Structure 1
């Protein structure tokens, strides 16, 4: 009987013999049904919709309506059609890469210190405290003779107490200076502004204004201090601590000859700009104040509708060279503001010196190697 053991899903031969050897009707077997091949006949919807056509193959189409109890979330609700003749908003393709040339340049990298000469820390602390006590002076209306003298190049230089050397004016607007070896930092300032906010600001005059002067370096370094001598060209709002080079304290900017870096209210190491200034070079520093239809909204700059566009540029040996936009984007963590330099304050010419140098400074156009167009 083991040979006739039943298998799963069927029945054994011994069961068939039992049906024929016993009298009486055979036991009733429950019929088994198999589904017909193929999909069911087309299904009709019992609503107001038309018949739903069957998809190709053996797939079944979902019902046309959402399941019971389903509600749209606000984000899934399509916007209402525009009223009247209004056009729908244009489609924005997020896969398109924007044109980086239209973006403002990133802020220039600053340095913690200069690679050449650095000032004494006590002098810096004293200057910071001095600037905190002495705030910048508001601009004043120049007299007609005062303004005419500056336009004609008749500009005087003041010798501060820290300046150790000679300073002579052989001609109108031309100055010859010589400092002793080992001289400390000092800042020569013009006695009068060479930019008057009241009469030169382009939003008031509707004209472009450029200020400029040149310095010829006749010699750099004498005696034991030969390696620690240089010059700086800049502009300052008043008052300014004269034992500090221009560009280091508030309301000032400058290009320093020892490292070629530019400084804007920067008491640290400045930013890369040009090559160092050497003996025999004639360098000039200018600022151009112009009308601007719109200025880029740089993150670290003040937003103002009354700003002028300001460009600072350098010339060397009669040729215009590097420049920078005063309203460039600034680093919030490292850079100070451009307060005092954007055309709202009077600006004086400034020449910083340290060590033993010989130089000529010219504020009269007739003596310049570079001639503005």
Structure 2
């Protein structure tokens, strides 16, 4: 059985979202700390190569985000039933395998010294055309969890680790979520949060690299108190991002904290584009991922 296709540069030229042909493309197989403000020009634990960063920046500069369209009833129902499959990038030396119901988990592993890559969900967890609070007149929350099962040899002299987040498509498959436009993520090796930040991220939580620990990330989209639009007449949601450890919420931030002179853009993350679950991997990592509330440590 062949692995699901990756979103590389050639596929990214297709401007339409890929979920219309998903059946063909994918085999059936409490109290929060105050918002941190400090940022870093480089990570204190591990950094990707400059060549990888330059290639990713060029990719994003020359490739527009896919415009959202309304999913078919079958596609939307699959997400509501948590039938979520992994899209494995070509940079992944390893495998991520969806487990059968009722768990709806993925079990995955990357090889020792695997370079940075990102595994994305094959369908969006948030469909802008359907899930937007402006459409539904209610808030929308998306969330998933990752459990660390093992860490082995890292790339080069760096340690192994993973990141958890969300991304709009197309996204460079050799970059962790949060490093490029239309994405955010939290990284295990230092606990920093990233929003379109190719440098060292911002202080957020402590590192989460203990085998057996489960972490989760969620986004909550609501209508703002005062509805505003951008230069393209797109309505912008109010967005909160929250993080959990072993079922307990330990941190959150307002997405629009990132809109200042020291931050990157939040384009793609304000509820006007489809968003996919994203797991970044570097080095040898064993993990499971869960997209169904029945398997979450956190209880909504």
Instruction: Indicate the residue corresponding to 2:162 in structure 1.
Output: 231
Q: What is the DSSP-based 3-state SS (H/G/I as helix, E as strand, rest coil) of the residue aligned with 1:327? A: helix
Asked if 1:141 is matched to 2:73, the reply is no
- Residues 132-161 of structure 1 deviation map (CA, whole Å, 9 limit, x = unaligned): 111111111111111111111111111110
Gaps of 5+ in 1: 1-104
Change (3 A) 1:226 1:168: farther
Scaled by the length of structure 2, the TM-score of the pair is 0.82
Q: In the alignment, does 2:249 pair up with 1:320?
A: yes
Quick check: which has more Rg, 1 or 2? 1
Structure that is richer in strand per residue: 2
Q: Against the structure 1 CA distance between its residues 119 and 222, is the aligned structure 2 distance closer, same or farther, given a 3 Å change threshold?
A: closer
1:150-299 mapped onto 2 (5 Å cutoff) = 150-172=79-101, 173-222=104-153, 228-278=159-209, 279-294=211-226
For the residues of structure 2 that align with 1:307 and 1:261, how far apart are their CA atoms? Answer: 25
CA shift for structure 1 position 244: 0.6
Change beyond 3 A, Cα 1:351–1:259: same
Alpha-carbon RMSD across the aligned residues, in angstroms, is 2.3
**Which deviates more, 217-226 or 360-369?**
217-226
More relative contact order, 1 or 2 (CA 8 Å, 6+ apart): 2
Query: Counterpart of 1:56?
Result: none
For the residue of structure 1 that corresponds to 2:281, the secondary structure is strand
Mapping of residues 94-105 of structure 1, within 5 Å: none
What corresponds to 1:355 in structure 2? 283
Q: How many pairs align?
A: 263
Listed one character per residue, the Cα deviations across residues 293-349 of structure 1 (whole Å, up to 9, x for unaligned) are 1389xxxx98989322100000100111100000126331x2111100000000011
Contact map agreement 1:108 1:330 (CA 8 A) in 2: no
Instruction: Provide the C-alpha distance between the structure 1 equivalents of 2:281 and 2:168, rounded to a whole number of angstroms.
Output: 18
Partners of 1:106 and 1:303 in 2: CA distance: 30
Alignment check: 8 A CA contact 1:181 1:226 kept: no
Q: Which runs of 5+ in 2 are unaligned?
A: 1-33
Is this contact kept in 2: 1:225–1:356, CA < 8 A? no
